[in-house]
Structure 1
């Protein structure tokens, strides 16, 4: 028989109600909706209407010019269909490193041209700008470029996000969140609609001077506007002293930074993206095939570690991006579905799964469908949405 009086329950509720509210606010769970499998960065002066289609065609040309296929033949139709239909899932028009320092008039013109080009065609499902950093030397230019773009576009493109590079401290994220509010009011946008992602490419962004994980502070400082953390492979590697020949997404220094990002972002709704490979599939067939093998292996490695997005820098990286992603989901889907249905039906199987794992299994299958690795009718989406 229970012996504790009712006021003990009330006392515990009183003590922990603020904690409950804080945890619910800080850790709302995964963000709803599709996450792109990659982000393609294109210098602002190279962006134009029709670019996505050009990248898809160039990727197809590379496959024809450098056989054999860099993936299993069973994936050919699925990858080629993707290259024709949606070669770029997430496009970032770059006004930072890929664009460089130009005159104010030139960058203003490039911002207006980017807006015009996006309005002229059906853009990829996710688009955005990478502006310059909010460090002192480039702060005003970063603000002005976004201001000019929004004015020229006349609102926000669907799926729009701003990439903020070289974030080092929480105050920069907090300032960006405030700036988004200013932009919304100035351009007549709905409150809260303008969001941004932060690039983790400096050591202070991972570990602060007080020994704490800065990335956790970045998320807390964003006032709900931070949608993603993107690892910057080469800036970060150089900053911690890794020699150029050994800078890689697979370096132990990269794994450490990304592990800290992963723990800090878990349950917050802030998504993660791995970086890029700068070994491009160009040159003769031997060089292209070697770059494809490297890229496919890195994409697979990221997926296995829970990073479902990465950067692509060249059209010929698209085949291995999609092939490695599709292989990952197609290989894992049958076992994931079997485990999920066994969990739902409470029948015995070789694996005893808990609710958190069931949610992960459903999430795995939803991701596979969202990116095109799995067909919509292969697994019952209604079931996946209710787990």
Structure 2
């Protein structure tokens, strides 16, 4: 065809090209934490992360001290039990919490204003200490009450106080993130952007630097009155500030009338909601996060083991479905979180590495992998590397591609 014709076609499609590039920019090139830990605002202090680490290690020592015991408890394959056990123990010592959320919503409740004011300031000061000591989790922040009319002013006030205190301490980091609870409308997201603009200006925080997650725990967030899902519009309305969609297991299930005994991350209504979330977030660079289980690993050994078994199964279920992050609500959930996650990546490494190596070198792995599948394979390996399930030495041996090469294959923008 003539070049003039193709140029005309380029011009015709230019607006659609621009919209696609704007709304679906792809991977942000940043690490996604494998979990978010929630701690009530009045219980958080500068020792909280260390306390969680100690409690998680104590639970592992008491109920899964050896690789053999842990393997028997959580049905780990013999060829992975020792390495998973050792890596989990090292993770609990090195980086027990990847993402921390100081909770001023359901986990905190409704308190007198003067008490929530004080707790917000105290929590921000404690977080600032961790930031300056370089012991804060890589991602950290707070969850505020919703922008529904009854809680709107209180949520904004807590956010303003918290960010202001962090800003005064020069402790607002790139890992700081806000969770907005019980979102019901696109207008609330638009309002949140206005709020963040004002807070940044008031406290001399870099414009556009405050990011937030949308907590998906209401039916209105999944299906609007017009019969469509508002989630894509919510992400767009966030003006580049939205980093995640977080599923709220119990609020969402209860709002659909699911009996308490059947409210779960694996209930069909939960799967439907998360499927919609994944579709809405695909290609946007926005992370999707699963919810939590309220069955805690506390009590005698039989109760702890049963809770760990359930948690491991649920975490693996999410990972298989392409949801790489979830909530943890108790220190003793950290061992089962890391066991399940590390097992997922360790078991999948050999096949993923062989397929990637064959794709790069033009060999035969027994699979006819296309570029999109190669990107998924590279993304799998990078996620395993980032959380500590895998290490660069074994990737060099098995794949022969360095981290930058993997990022390129995964279609991730390289970050300095």
Please tell me the TM-score bracket, short chain as reference: over 0.9
Given that 1:126 and 1:160 are in contact with CA atoms closer than 8 Å, whether structure 2 keeps it comes out as yes
Whole-angstrom CA distance in 1 between matches of 2:121 and 2:3: 65
The runs of at least 4 consecutive aligned structure 1 residues that moved more than 3 Å come to 70-73
Which of 124, 137, 140 is the aligned partner of 1:124? 137
Measured against aligned partners, the alpha-carbon deviations of 1:143-162 in whole angstroms (never above 9, x if no partner) come to 11111112212241441000
Whole-angstrom CA distance in 1 between matches of 2:173 and 2:39: 17
Equivalent pairs, count: 384
Which of 212, 229, 234 is the aligned partner of 2:250? 234
Aligned to 1:49: 46
Which of 91, 96, 102 is the aligned partner of 1:93? 102
Which of 73, 76, 85 is the aligned partner of 2:85? 76
Cα displacement (A) at 1:283: 1.0
Give secondary structure in 1 for the equivalent of 2:100. strand
1:151 lines up with 2:164 in the alignment: yes
Measured against aligned partners, the alpha-carbon deviations of 1:327-376 in whole angstroms (never above 9, x if no partner) come to 00111111111111111122233111111111111111110000000013
Aligned to 2:268: 252
**C-alpha root-mean-square deviation of aligned residues, in Å?**
1.2
Q: TM-score, normalised by structure 2?
A: 0.90
Which of 311, 321, 326 is the aligned partner of 1:295? 311
Which of 25, 29, 34 is the aligned partner of 1:28? 25
Give secondary structure in 1 for the equivalent of 2:148. coil
Alignment of 1:207-356 (within 5 A): 207-356=223-372
Which of 14, 19, 44 is the aligned partner of 1:17? 14
Aligned to 1:199: 215
Given that 1:53 and 1:84 are in contact with CA atoms closer than 8 Å, whether structure 2 keeps it comes out as no
Q: TM-score, normalised by structure 1?
A: 0.97
Cα displacement (A) at 1:383: 2.1
Whole-angstrom CA distance in 2 between matches of 1:11 and 1:276: 52
Cα displacement (A) at 1:60: 1.6
After TM superposition, the structure 1 stretch with the greater mean CA deviation from structure 2, 66-75 or 285-294, is: 66-75
Whole-angstrom CA distance in 2 between matches of 1:363 and 1:248: 28
Measured against aligned partners, the alpha-carbon deviations of 1:275-318 in whole angstroms (never above 9, x if no partner) come to 00000001111111110100000000000000000000001100
